[in-house]
Structure 1
C-alpha cells in the first residue's frame, strides 16, 4: 500500500479516489474507522470519516485509530486529506488531527501539506489561498453555513488551531526545484516548525513538492486531492483502468449542499424537482419523507430531491431551529429518501451533492466500501458499492463546489 489516506468526509475521499485512479493508482474507499481484519489489496486506501465538523476529540480519536490500522496494513505514507478550501473553524480539526498524527509518527516527525488543487481553481501564494481569481475570504466560502472561511492566510489559520509553530515553503522555493524544497523543510524543522504549508499555483508545482516529499518516512503528508494525485503520478505503475458500464436501474439526485456551485447546478437542471421544507421537517418529518419518496416514484425522467436554498433562507432556518438541528434534519431526510428509493423503487444510481449529506446517505444505504468506476469530472467519480442486501449500486458523492453548471445532467451520460 503506497498511500493511506485519512479523509475528513466522504466527498473528499471520493475526490482523492477519482484523482489517484486517473493517475493509474488502484484505489479503494472505506467508510468509517476501518476494521483491521479487512485488509484491502489496493495501492491507495482512502478512509472516509465524518470528522470535518465533528467535536475535536472525536475527530482526533477516529483519525488516530484509522492511522493505526493503515500502518498495520502496511501503508508506506500517511496522508491527512482536508478540503481544498481548508474548511475549518478556528476551533476546528485540521490542526489537532495533524498534531495527533505527527505524535504517532515519531518524535522528530512533522506534517507537510497544501490545499492546492489547480484542476478546481485552488491555488496558494505567500500562504494565501485563492478560489479561482479571488482570495478565499472574498469567495462564497466566506459565508459557508458550517465552516465560514474569512481569513485567506492559511499559515495564520492553522496557527490558531495548534500550539506548535507553522511555516511556509514559498513559491520561489518550489520553483527552484525539489532540492530547494528539501533544504527549506530542513531549515524549518531545525527552527522547531512542526507544520509546513507549501505554495503552488499549477500542477507542475505539485509535482515538485511530490518529488521532494515522496521518499520521506518521518512526514505526515496532507492537503487536498492535488498533492495526493501528484504523489500518485510518481508512484503509479499502470495506466488508469477503462471505465466499467453503469449498473441497470433508475437514477436519483439528492442535494443538501448550500454552495454557490450547487445552487447554479440546481437552477440549470431541467428535470422534475422536489424541495424539502425544513420547517415542515421539524413538525412532521415522516410526512415530508413520504411525500418526497412518492414524488420520486411518480417522476418521469431523472428526479431531484433538494434541500438547497439561498443563503438568506438558510440563515433564517438556522436562526430559527439552530444550525446543527437544521443540518441533521436535512441529512436524515435525504438519507431516508435514498434508502426507500433503493429498497422500494428500483433506484440503483444516486448522485449526492454535499459532504455531510453524502455521509448520511452512505450510512443509510449501509455500504462499507466504494470502488471507482469512472471519473465524471475533476474530483468527482462514480463509484461501485454493494449494500447489505447484495444490491450493486452506482454512487456519486460530490462536494458541493465541484462539477460544471450542467453536471446534474451530464453526470448520468455514460461514455460509449
Structure 2
C-alpha cells in the first residue's frame, strides 16, 4: 500500500503521519503540493505514506478544491495506490464547508486514475486515540456530543450539530450514507456491502472497529475506485494492514538537532491549548490582535524580549490573548486571525534565523501553516510522538540563502495533555 493523503491543514497532516509512522509505516509530510524535486514520495520497494499538507480547512471552496485536486493528481502520479482525505476529527459545521466538495473532487480524480467511473468515498472522523468516536452518526469528543462540547463555540466552525450525516449532506450533491455501529460489529463484509454511491460515513468506537472499516475499504477498492477518509484513525488502521502485509519498512530515526533555543508559539484558542498555556510555568508573553492593529511596534518589542533572554534553553511561550471574542468583534474574525498569524510567523523566523533557535512547538492549525510557510519549510521528517497525534519532526528552514535544520512540533489546538508545553521537550530530536 502506498497511501497518498491530502490533508486540509498542517497539524492534521502531522497527526495522520505521526500515527501512521508509529504503526510502522514510513511517513512524510510535504507542505503544499510536491514539486518535481520532492520525488520520490514512496519507497520503490514497499509501502509508505505521503501526506500533502494544505491550508484549506476554512479556505474559499473553489480554492480548496483546486489545491486538493492538484495535490491528489501529484500523489497519484507519484505512485499512490490509495487516496486519503484527511479532515479534522471535529468535522466542519458550515453548509458551504470544504469536506464535501473536496471529497467530490478526490473521487473524480480516483475515477480518472482508474480509468472507470463509480468512485466512492468511505470513512469516519472517529479517532479513538484522540477520544473522537462516532455512534449512530453522532460525533463525540471526550464522550460528549460535539455540539455540547467546547467545539460548540469554535471561532471559525462552531459545532451546533453533532450529526455528521446532517453536516455533510448540504456540502455535496452526492448521496451521503451511514453504516451504523451494529453493522460495523458484524464485520468488514457487512460494512462493504452497505457502501453505496456517493459518500459513506461509518460509526466507530474502538480501534478494532477502525480495523474492520479499513478492511472494508480495501475490499471495496478491489472492485471500484475508492477514496478513504476522515480523521487520522482510519489512516492508522490502513497502516496496520500494510505493516501486517510484511511490505513496510521500519521508520528511520530522526537526526539529532543540537538544542540552541526553545520557543512555543500558540495561536489556538481551543480548550486544550488554554489548559496547556495555564499549566506552563516558564516565561510567557501575550499577543492581543487589538494591540497588533494599533501599534506596529508590538512585534518589535517581543523580538527585543527574545533577543535579551540569557537562557534560551528554557522554553519561552508567546500566545494569543484568551479574549478572542472581543478582538473578533472589534476587528472581524479574519482580520484578528491574520494579525496573529503574521506576528507569530514573523517571531518564528526571527527566532530561527536571527537568534539561532533550534526547537519550535507551534499550537494551532492555522498558526502552524503560517509559521511553516514563513520558514520556507517544504518537507517534514516525522519522528516520535510527544502525545497521540502530536509528533516531533525535523525540517529545513530556508531564508534567503541560509538553511537551518530545526526540530518542530506542530500541534492541533485540541490535542495534548495539560503538561505538553513542559513535557514535549523530553522526546524532542
Shorter chain as normaliser: what TM range?
A: over 0.9
d(CA) in 1 for partners of 2:305 and 2:7? Answer: 34
Q: How does 1:80-159 map to 2 (within 5 A)?
A: 80-106=85-111, 107-159=117-169
Stretch of structure 1 that moved more, 241-250 or 378-387: 241-250
d(CA) in 1 for partners of 2:202 and 2:376? Answer: 38
Scaled by the length of structure 2, the TM-score of the pair is 0.92
How many Å apart are 1:289 and its aligned residue?
1.1
Q: Per-residue CA shift, 1:4-39, capped at 9, x if unaligned?
A: 000000000000110010011111110012224531
d(CA) in 1 for partners of 2:130 and 2:257? Answer: 25
| 1:222 maps to 2:229 | yes
d(CA) in 1 for partners of 2:428 and 2:86? Answer: 30
d(CA) in 2 for partners of 1:40 and 1:148? Answer: 39
Q: Per-residue CA shift, 1:322-348, capped at 9, x if unaligned?
A: 000000000000000000011111111
- 2:405 is aligned, of 392, 395, 401, to 392
Q: How does 1:199-210 map to 2 (within 5 A)?
A: 199-210=203-214
d(CA) in 1 for partners of 2:100 and 2:413? Answer: 23
Q: Per-residue CA shift, 1:186-241, capped at 9, x if unaligned?
A: xxx2xxx4010000000000001111112515111100000000000110234555
Stretch of structure 1 that moved more, 294-303 or 347-356: 294-303
SS for the counterpart of 2:421 is helix
Q: Contact 2:257–2:405 at 8 Å: present in 1 too?
A: no
SS for the counterpart of 1:304 is strand
- 2:242 is aligned, of 235, 246, 268, to 235
Change in 2 beyond 3 A, CA 1:33/1:239:
closer
Change in 2 beyond 3 A, CA 1:302/1:37:
closer
2:64 aligns with: 59
SS for the counterpart of 1:86 is coil
Change in 2 beyond 3 A, CA 1:247/1:17:
farther
1:245 aligns with: 256
d(CA) in 1 for partners of 2:209 and 2:268? Answer: 31
d(CA) in 1 for partners of 2:18 and 2:262? Answer: 21
Q: Contact 1:24–1:241 at 8 Å: present in 2 too?
A: no
d(CA) in 2 for partners of 1:75 and 1:272? Answer: 45
SS for the counterpart of 2:358 is strand
Stretch of structure 1 that moved more, 48-57 or 271-280: 271-280
d(CA) in 2 for partners of 1:242 and 1:18? Answer: 13
d(CA) in 1 for partners of 2:291 and 2:141? Answer: 35
Q: What value does the CA root-mean-square deviation take over the aligned residues? A: 1.5
Q: What are the ranges of 5 or more consecutive residues in structure 2 without an aligned counterpart?
A: 43-47, 112-116
- Number of matched residues? 406
SS for the counterpart of 1:105 is helix
SS for the counterpart of 1:347 is coil
Change in 2 beyond 3 A, CA 1:128/1:258:
same
d(CA) in 1 for partners of 2:142 and 2:259? Answer: 37
Q: Contact 1:8–1:81 at 8 Å: present in 2 too?
A: yes
d(CA) in 1 for partners of 2:351 and 2:254? Answer: 26
Scaled by the length of structure 1, the TM-score of the pair is 0.95
Stretch of structure 1 that moved more, 203-212 or 295-304: 295-304
Q: Contact 2:254–2:381 at 8 Å: present in 1 too?
A: no
How many Å apart are 1:407 and its aligned residue?
0.2
| 1:363 maps to 2:367 | no
2:53 aligns with: 48
Q: Contact 1:36–1:73 at 8 Å: present in 2 too?
A: no
How many Å apart are 1:245 and its aligned residue?
3.4
How many Å apart are 1:375 and its aligned residue?
1.4
